[in-house]
Copies of this chain bind each other. A is one copy, B any other.
Amino acid sequence: MKENEKISSAVIRRLPRYRRYLEDLLKKNVDRISSNGLSELMGYTASQIRQDLNNFGGFGQQGYGYNIKELYLQMGIILGLDREYKVIIVGSGNLGQAIANYTHYYKEGFKVCAMFDVNPRLIGLVINDIEVMDYQNIVEFMKNNKVDLGIICTNKESAQDVADKISEGGVSGIWNFAPMDLQVKDSVSLENVHLSDSLHALTYHVRHK
């Protein structure tokens, strides 16, 4: 990848999708694909695809197309998937448990090492061999354990406090499911899954179809 160059956030959004399609092609034992072939599958124009992949040095060979396995592996490295991430989940209700299971079965280097909640009915519950801990103990936990990513599945009211504590505790990234916009320091990456925003975009389209 061309280091120090700023990749636009629109391109970054598309990368995981490229990787999904490459994974499907690999599973079907396809070796190579042209930008036109990818275009037909993915709906982007061939020229956009060439431009997107060019950001990373250009994996294609004119007339031969892209080597899928190589491109898939490189894409994984670019996306930071060639390492393990130690993950904690804060908020262990239905959504937190679903995300814990998702991350558990996902098996792509994401290792849930602790879950937290404030609810006494959830504290002590065991999800995939991980016991839900009392949120009161999170600062201490983070002093004694290296954590890379924090997943916030709490309500809106608690989310900023969680973000502050886990940022202070040293996470590099936060995956936020609480329906609000968090303030985090520059050294922490933040990615939101705003379910209600997504549902409302759907109802917008249904209304205006």
A residues in contact (CB < 8 Å) with B: 7, 12-13, 15-17, 19-20, 42, 78-81, 85, 93-95, 97-99, 101-102, 106, 110, 148-149, 172-175, 179-181, 187, 189-191, 193-209
C-alpha gap A187/B206 in the complex (Å) = 9
Please tell me how many copies of the chain the complex holds. Answer: 2
C-alpha gap A206/B94 in the complex (Å) = 27
Across the interface, do A205 and B193 meet the contact criterion of CB distance under 8 Å?
no
C-alpha gap A187/B200 in the complex (Å) = 18
Across the interface, do A94 and B85 meet the contact criterion of CB distance under 8 Å?
no
Across the interface, do A13 and B201 meet the contact criterion of CB distance under 8 Å?
yes
Whole-angstrom distance between the Cβ of A171 and the nearest chain B Cβ: 9
Across the interface, do A110 and B80 meet the contact criterion of CB distance under 8 Å?
no
Across the interface, do B206 and A149 meet the contact criterion of CB distance under 8 Å?
yes
Q: Quick one: given A180-B20, A189-B209, A203-B80, are A102 and B106 in contact (CB under 8 Å)?
A: no
Q: Which residue of B lies closest to A21 (CB)?
A: B181
Contact residues of A: prevailing secondary structure: helix
Contact partners of A101 in chain B: CB under 8 A: 93-95
Across the interface, do A204 and B80 meet the contact criterion of CB distance under 8 Å?
yes
Across the interface, do B196 and A191 meet the contact criterion of CB distance under 8 Å?
no
C-alpha gap A191/B95 in the complex (Å) = 19
Contact partners of A197 in chain B: CB under 8 A: 13, 16-17, 20
C-alpha gap A99/B102 in the complex (Å) = 13
Whole-angstrom distance between the Cβ of A204 and the nearest chain B Cβ: 5
Contact of A173 among B20, B78, B187, B206 (CB under 8 A): B206
C-alpha gap A175/B199 in the complex (Å) = 7
Q: Which residue of B lies closest to A172 (CB)?
A: B206
Whole-angstrom distance between the Cβ of A3 and the nearest chain B Cβ: 9
Across the interface, do A206 and B80 meet the contact criterion of CB distance under 8 Å?
yes
Interface centre among A7, A174, A196, A200 (most CB of B within 10 A): A200
